[in-house]
């Protein structure tokens, strides 16, 4: 059985999107999310966690410990009730019983073990769990260009529409290209509370590298993971501030006179000679 995580980690992932919408904003007609002050694109942490969850469902389906708590169409209160039944608890207000049910959920559901969850709803409360893995919002390296593309279809919805030879018009919102960067944290202390193991972490990084390849859709365009850098500390609490480590990695356009349209236009710089003592830098992609 794999050991519970004993080291602190940070990581940086670069990924890009070509002619697609990486994360639509429902408050803006599903336009790609953007920082209105700088023009940089943003992608929520929840968006990427969803892709990791989906990959786990595909890759580890049926395996113990890799069920997904926040899954499509799930009724979360029912899953909490299942936890009470699985451990044989009949009371609902006993703190120790709540923690027993919580431990069952952490053991069964990979996403709770990794990201945590709020499970204090309904009759079968299981408390709140702060997961060891936390993600920031992604931000594009350069400002993005939001584009609205009009589309038509050859088929008609009704006989009346067919007779008028009117074709329904639609719109798609894309960006021609964007290279995004997301930073993440892995806490050994929180891992010990949820039972998050070394094997779990290895699988998480596998999911990060492959999640876009199992999340294709016409609206998202071509999305690809490009680079994954992982900082491993030699202790639970770590040997350097996360911000110091993140500053060691940078991406810039080779020619700023040209608008970004491909990954080859970027150069990623890693200051390996400045990595602090007690920290190992690993390039996983």
pLDDT of residue 152: 80
pLDDT tens figures, 216-263: 998 999 999 999 999 999 999 999 999 999 999 999 999 999 999 999
> What pTM, to 2 d.p., does this model score?
0.93
- Would you state the pLDDT for residue 214? 92
At residue 96, the pLDDT reads: 81
What secondary structure letter does DSSP report for 260?
Answer: -
Strand partners, 281: 231
Q: Chunked in runs of 10, what are the mean pLDDT values of the chain (285 residues)?
A: 91 98 93 96 97 96 94 91 91 81 96 96 91 98 94 76 69 95 98 96 98 93 97 97 98 95 98 97 96
pLDDT at 3: 94
Residue in 216, 217, 191 with CA at minimum distance from that of residue 204: 191
CB 58 within 8 A of CB 51: no
Query: What SS3 class is residue 173?
Result: strand
For the chain, give the mean pLDDT. Answer: 93
Q: Report CA-CA distances (Å) from 44 to 16, 59, 60, 132, 178.
A: 15, 23, 25, 18, 15
DSSP 256: T
pLDDT score recorded for residue 166: 64
Say which residue the tokens 């972490």 belong to.
201
59 and 145 Cβ atoms separated by less than 8 Å: no
């Amino acid at each position: 059985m794999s050991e519970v995580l004993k080291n602190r980690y940070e990581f940086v992932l670069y990924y890009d999107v070509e002619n697609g919408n990486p994360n639509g904003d429902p408050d803006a007609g599903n336009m790609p999310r953007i920082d209105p002050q700088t023009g940089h694109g943003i992608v929520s942490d929840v968006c990427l966690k969803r892709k990791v969850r989906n990959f786990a469902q595909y890759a580890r389906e049926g395996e113990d410990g890799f069920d997904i708590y926040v899954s499509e169409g799930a009724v979360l209160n029912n899953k909490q009730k299942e936890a009470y039944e699985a451990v044989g608890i009949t009371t609902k207000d006993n703190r120790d019983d709540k923690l027993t049910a919580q431990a069952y959920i952490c053991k069964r559901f990979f996403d709770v073990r990794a990201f945590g969850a709020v499970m204090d709803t309904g009759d079968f409360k299981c408390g709140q769990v702060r997961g060891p893995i936390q993600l920031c919002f992604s931000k594009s390296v350069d400002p993005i260009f939001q584009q609205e593309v009009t589309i038509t279809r050859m088929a008609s919805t009704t006989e009346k529409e067919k007779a008028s030879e009117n074709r329904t018009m639609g719109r798609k919102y894309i960006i021609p290209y964007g290279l995004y960067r997301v930073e993440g944290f892995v806490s050994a202390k929180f891992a010990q509370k949820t039972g998050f193991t070394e094997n779990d972490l290895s699988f998480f990084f596998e999911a990060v590298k492959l999640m876009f390849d199992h999340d294709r859709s016409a609206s998202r365009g071509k999305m690809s993971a490009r680079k994954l850098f992982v900082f491993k500390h030699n202790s639970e609490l770590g040997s350097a501030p996360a911000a110091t480590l993140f500053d060691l990695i940078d991406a810039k356009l080779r020619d700023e006179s040209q608008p970004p349209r491909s990954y080859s236009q970027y150069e990623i710089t890693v200051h390996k000679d400045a990595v602090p003592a007690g920290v190992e830098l690993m390039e996983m992609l």
